[in-house]
Amino acid sequence: MNDQERIERQEKIRNFSIIAHIDHGKSTLADRILENTQSVASREMKSQLLDSMDLERERGITIKLNAVQLKYTAKDGEDYIFHLIDTPGHVDFTYEVSRSLAACEGAVLVVDAAQGIEAQTLANVYLALDNDLELIPVINKIDLPAADPERIAQEVEDVVGLPKEDAIKASAKANIGIEEILESVVETVPAPAGDPSAPLKALIFDSIFDPYRGVISSIRIMEGTVRAGDKIRMMATGKEFEVAEVGINTPKPMAVEELTVGDVGFLTAAIKTVGDSRVGDTITLAANPAATPLKGYKKMNPMVFCGMFPIDSNKYNDLREALEKLELNDSSLEYEPETSQALGFGFRTGFLGLLHMEIVQERIEREFGIELIATAPSVIYDVHMTDGSKEVVDNPSQMPDPQKVDRIEEPYVKATIMVPSDYVGSVMELCQRKRGNFVTMDYLDDIRVNIIYEIPLSEIVFDFFDQLKSNTKGYASFDYELIGYKESRLVKMDILLNNEKVDALSFIVHRDFAYERGKLIVEKLKTLIPRQQFEVPVQAAIGQKIIARTNIKSMGKNVLSKCYGGDISRKRKLLEKQKEGKKKMKSVGNVEIPQEAFLAVLKMDEE
Amino acid sequence: MVDSMYIHIPFCNRICTYCDFNKVLIDNQPVDAYVDALIKEMRQIEPMTLRTIFVGGGTPTALSEAQLEKLLLEIDSRFTVTEEFSFEANPDELTMAKLDLLHNHGVNRISLGVQTFNDELLKVLGRSHGYDDIFRAISHLEEIGLTNYSIDLMYNLPGETMDDIKDSLKYISELKPKHISWYSLIIEPHTVFYNRIQKGQMKVDDDEAEGEKYMYIMGELAKLGYPQYEISNFSEKEYESAHNKTYWKNDEYFGLGAGSHGYVGGKRYYNTKPVNHYIRAIEENGSAVKETVELTLNEQMEEEMFLGLRMNRGVDMRRFEEKYGRSLDSVYGDVIDDEKGKGNLMEKDGFISLTKAGRLVGNSVFIGFLN
């Protein structure tokens, strides 16, 4: 291609994402768009085509980003090149959404025709507007009996400010309105700006590690052109590499001759670590570098921490390797070695949120075959000492001696909860119970209310979302953002098993709730820790003071009495099953503790 | 040298609510063909001298006199039993005529399926016999002079009380059998009990109450002159079951009949379970073996431990070393020390055995020996 051809081609490129609340039909719409363009034949279709991890398909969510190139022949007879960039739909992954959006000029805003705008969608709409994206409102699932597209279109106008006449009524499932959406992408989303002959500026919006090809960087070309053999430079790190391959996803990866302005594709250059191809960095050519990098992103810091320990202590190094590998694809994951008296050597690991934490734990167990004990998640506390110094504590067991503490501050979030008005009472009650401060409440329309509270992040971390769902029959949607630190009257609660303090079970609690929580936790632990050969006292203590106590009775009979004729293999199988169960437990002193016990503190409000 | 044999009779006149062994209701079954198949399977083994034979089920006494006779004649003609020839029997089916047959063909031990002396509980268990049948069967045994019999009982039954256990002990003290097997009820999948419990229609005691009953039974039977020699087995001196000890000593045995398990030449094998498949396989190939697994040395040693420790005397350290060419200590020293520390294992006179506390939680000790 020469520059003239590149500029003509650039005119025909449309880069967009789909913004939707979980379950509002983003993946189905993406599948439908893929089918209705020249990308994948229907026979190759697997539902949720863009979600490539097993976990993503199972949980019906998107975790990692994906971008796919499509060809579309519009009604005007012209052929267009679409890049559809997938976005995760969960609150934990806001950061990744912002990365996707930075690679686009437009976004399709999908809203469920019955449920309307949800808190999370709204958060992403604001992100899109911050990135100057053109929005195409789509009211989805109009074929469902409960659909009320007119009301929802009005809601979109009222809440987001997009004229209701512009909203496309669609059903991705029934293939209604898809062509209108595609035409609207052509008309509404601007072609990318940029000069193909200028020095290269390519935004890295994702990086994954592939054991055979090294780091595969997902890039969006803002200026210039890049091809295999080019010598490139990472503008933040200054590191230089030779490009091995550039390509696009169709959704299968396909090498192409070059990527130029407006293209969204991938690049490999025998890069050994993701750290050398940082998300948000700008790639330029070593021979003809750009003067300034692109704006990039601000790094998102983990908000939730937990200790992760291998049940088999010999697997410490395996766990380190697993974390190293995951970190290659997950720049928001942080970890450092941690030693627990109870659990031995492990890692204090930071996450964007609870879902992120669960997913990482699950991947370590599944993909790396390491059985884990994870401690209950904690937030980061600012502890101001009497001597005027400040300590940052992300591990309850490290909380300094109260005698030396002047005050403790904890992170607060602004929680935005959207809910049908019938549930306002129960939402407020829940927020109150979670130490929330009411900020404001307004009616979005006749039915839906937007409630805003300031709540300690630690309360959000402790099963807030599950409780919110169950208290509102699943109707509430929820989003939060960190607003800063506030002083709280917090204390550390220690747990003693068999009269030994188990550091990994310590947690931080507000003084006013301490007694109640202490009682709840010992009872909960009693149900979660299997009976041992001896009676095990379970105690909750603040400092030296025991505030709650119960006993786990000793084990009764546990020996197979039957002979089973000469069927020894059956006996063996039974024993092997018991052994498997035991393997999932961590031995602390003489007490075998299962994973669930370490998360007991999360489950206290269940009953 | 294999010198034990198990023979399985998979037929019953009634299906018990707790039973998950390989068995079918005898009505309309090809029982004659089955006996013929058993005989054909037996003929694959050279005539030899055996130490023990155990005929179990199902219910061996569900066979007709003619069928029993045919089977016994064949056994008699092929094998010489030097030590113990045991038959399982249901109290209501142990007629004088059948008992005569057994006795005349060398059966020298009866394992009597009493289960409980409480008529109500017998009904819950779905047994075909009642309280009276037990005493009738035992009087037959005494009349014929076959006094080496075992009373097989169960505890931890749904609705059972300590009084039921005390009653059983009282009858034992009066009847003075040579041997008692007293198994705790295990709720197995594919049984009536399992379904009832799943549906919440039935409850059994938890393992704590079970443990208390177990300790009580051990103590009381010892007082009555029946020291325990295995987790669930108690006997007068000299009357331990030679056949069952074959399993616990991890020695080899033939397994004949549908679904039977055998252990020959370091290989564990089992026969196909369905009666028809078994008959067809024997008719066609002379063998109905479904699967054979050769045990690794490691597996053999593991089994030596979790079977041997079931016996009160425990695992013979010298025999272990002779059998496997490695000392017990070099293989399992760490596990043994650990369990000794917890008070679950002890060492005495060249044997490693469970302590009384360890016996209660045998499984948690056994799994330590699994790789």
Per residue in A36-53, pLDDT (tens digit) is 887 644 444 444 444 555
Chain A contact set for B6 (CB, 8 A): 565-566
The pLDDT, as a whole number, for residue A92 is: 56
Cβ of B359 within 8 Å of Cβ of A562? The answer is no
Q: Are residues A210 and A222 in the same domain?
A: yes
User: Is the pLDDT score of A442 beyond 80?
Assistant: yes
Q: Are residues A239 and A97 in the same domain?
A: no
Question: Among partner residues A555, A571, A582, which is closest to B207 by beta-carbon distance?
Answer: A555
The pLDDT, as a whole number, for residue B215 is: 94
The pLDDT, as a whole number, for residue A600 is: 82
Chain B contact set for A562 (CB, 8 A): 183, 186, 232
Chain A contact set for B361 (CB, 8 A): 533, 555, 557-559
Angle at A533 between CA B215 and CA A590, to 5 degrees: 160
Least confident stretch, A582-586, B164-168, B213-217, B279-283 = A582-586
CATH code, domain carrying A420: 3.30.70.240
A595 band by pLDDT with thresholds 50, 70 and 90: confident
Q: Which of A374, A409, A424 is the last residue before a domain boundary? A: A374
Classify residue A195: in a domain, yes or no.
Answer: no
Classify residue A343: in a domain, yes or no.
Answer: yes
Give the best residue of A561, A572, A578, A580 to mutate against chain B (max B CB count within 10 A).
A561
A303 band by pLDDT with thresholds 50, 70 and 90: confident
B21 close contact with A: CB closer than 8 A: yes
Chain A contact set for B303 (CB, 8 A): 568, 572
The pLDDT, as a whole number, for residue B49 is: 97
Q: Are residues A161 and A209 in the same domain?
A: no
Q: Per-residue pLDDT tens for A470-507?
A: 888 777 888 888 899 999 999 999 999 999 999 999 99
Which value, in Å, is the radius of gyration of the alpha carbons in chain A? 27
Give the three-state DSSP class for A273.
Answer: coil
Q: Are residues A52 and A177 in the same domain?
A: yes
Cβ of B307 within 8 Å of Cβ of A568? The answer is yes
Q: Report percent pLDDT > 90 for chain A.
A: 49
Q: Per-residue pLDDT tens for B112-151?
A: 999 999 999 999 999 999 999 999 999 999 999 999 999 9
Q: Are residues A228 and A345 in the same domain?
A: no
Cβ of B247 within 8 Å of Cβ of A566? The answer is yes
Q: How far is B318 from chain A (nearest CA, A)?
A: 23
| ipTM score assigned to the predicted complex | 0.91
Chain B contact set for A575 (CB, 8 A): 306, 363, 366-367, 370
Question: In chain B, positions 335-364, which contact chain A (CB-CB < 8 Å)?
Answer: 342, 344, 357, 359-364
Cβ of B231 within 8 Å of Cβ of A560? The answer is yes
Q: Are residues A182 and A205 in the same domain?
A: no
What domain count does chain A have?
Answer: 5
Chain A contact set for B364 (CB, 8 A): 533, 555, 558, 578, 582
Cβ of A556 within 8 Å of Cβ of B56? The answer is no
Q: Are residues A510 and A474 in the same domain?
A: no
Question: Among partner residues A559, A566, A567, which is closest to B361 by beta-carbon distance?
Answer: A559
Angle at B42 between CA B286 and CA B35, to 5 degrees: 85
Q: Which of A341, A374, A407 is the last residue before a domain boundary? A: A374
Q: Are residues A443 and A345 in the same domain?
A: no
Boundaries of domain holding A454: 382-488
Multiple choice CATH, B298-369, 1.10.10.920, 3.20.20.70, 3.40.50.1820, 3.40.50.300: 1.10.10.920
Q: How far is A389 from chain B (nearest CA, A)?
A: 47
Domain covering B4-248 in this structure, CATH number: 3.20.20.70
Q: Per-residue pLDDT tens for A176-233?
A: 999 999 999 999 999 999 999 999 999 988 888 787 888 889 899 999 999 999 999 9
Question: Would strands A381-385 and A405-420 be described as parallel, antiparallel, or unpaired?
Answer: antiparallel
The pLDDT, as a whole number, for residue A41 is: 44
Q: Per-residue pLDDT tens for A241-298?
A: 999 999 988 877 888 999 999 999 999 999 988 778 887 889 999 999 999 988 876 6
Q: Which of A135, A167, A133 is nearest to A151 (CA)?
A: A167
User: Is the pLDDT score of A96 beyond 70?
Assistant: no
Which positions ≥6 away from A571 have C-beta within 8 Å? A560, A564, B306, B307
Give the three-state DSSP class for A465.
Answer: helix
A607 band by pLDDT with thresholds 50, 70 and 90: very low
Question: What value does the mean pLDDT take over residues B18-43?
Answer: 95
Classify residue A196: in a domain, yes or no.
Answer: no
Chain B contact set for A569 (CB, 8 A): 261, 268, 270, 293
Burial classification of residue B223, based on how many CB atoms lie within 10 Å of its CB (0-12 exposed, 13-18 middle, 19 or more buried): exposed
The values of phi and psi at residue A535, to 5°, are -70, 135
Cβ of B186 within 8 Å of Cβ of A561? The answer is yes
Classify residue A345: in a domain, yes or no.
Answer: yes
Classify residue A290: in a domain, yes or no.
Answer: no
| pLDDT mean across residues, chain A | 86
B298 band by pLDDT with thresholds 50, 70 and 90: very high
CATH code, domain carrying A90: 3.40.50.300
- Partners of B79 in the beta sheet? B48
Cβ of B360 within 8 Å of Cβ of A558? The answer is yes
Cβ of B363 within 8 Å of Cβ of A559? The answer is yes
The values of phi and psi at residue A197, to 5°, are -100, 0
Q: Per-residue pLDDT tens for B177-193?
A: 999 999 999 888 889 99
Cβ of B255 within 8 Å of Cβ of A576? The answer is no
Q: How far is B342 from chain A (nearest CA, A)?
A: 9
Q: Per-residue pLDDT tens for A125-167?
A: 887 887 889 999 999 999 999 999 999 999 899 888 899 989 9
- Tell me the C-alpha distance between B323 and A112, whole Å: 72
pTM beyond 0.90: no
Q: Are residues A116 and A16 in the same domain?
A: yes
Q: Which of A100, A44, A37 is nearest to A69 (CA)?
A: A37
Cβ of A575 within 8 Å of Cβ of B366? The answer is yes
Q: Which residue of B has its CA nearest to A591?
A: B342
CB distance B158 to B192 below 8 Å:
no
Q: Which residue of B has its CA nearest to A554?
A: B208
Q: How far is A519 from chain B (nearest CA, A)?
A: 25
The pLDDT, as a whole number, for residue A299 is: 64
Q: Which residues of A441-480 are buried (b: 16+ CB within 10 A; e: fewer)?
A: beebeeebbbbbbbbbbbbbbbbbbebbeebbeebbbbbb
Q: Are residues A397 and A353 in the same domain?
A: no
Q: Per-residue pLDDT tens for B83-117?
A: 999 999 999 999 999 999 999 999 999 999 999 99
The pLDDT, as a whole number, for residue A445 is: 75
Can you list the positions of beta strands (E) in A462-590?
Answer: 477-488, 490-497, 500-501, 507-510, 536-542, 545-552, 585-588
Q: Which of A332, A348, A374 is the last residue before a domain boundary? A: A374
B86 close contact with A: CB closer than 8 A: no
A27 band by pLDDT with thresholds 50, 70 and 90: confident
- Chain A residues within 8 A (CB-CB) of chain B? 533, 553, 555-563, 565-569, 571-572, 574-576, 578-579, 582, 590
CB distance A214 to A269 below 8 Å:
yes
Q: Per-residue pLDDT tens for A66-81?
A: 788 889 999 999 999 9
- Tell me the C-alpha distance between A435 and B128, whole Å: 65
Cβ of B262 within 8 Å of Cβ of A565? The answer is no
Classify residue A194: in a domain, yes or no.
Answer: no
B264 close contact with A: CB closer than 8 A: no
Q: How far is B333 from chain A (nearest CA, A)?
A: 19
Question: Among partner residues A556, A565, A571, which is closest to B206 by beta-carbon distance?
Answer: A556
Domains of chain B by residue range = 4-248, 298-369
Q: How far is A515 from chain B (nearest CA, A)?
A: 31
The pLDDT, as a whole number, for residue A56 is: 53
Q: Are residues A33 and A149 in the same domain?
A: yes
Q: Which residue of A has its CA nearest to B365?
A: A559
| pLDDT mean across residues, chain B | 95
User: Is the pLDDT score of A85 beyond 90?
Assistant: no
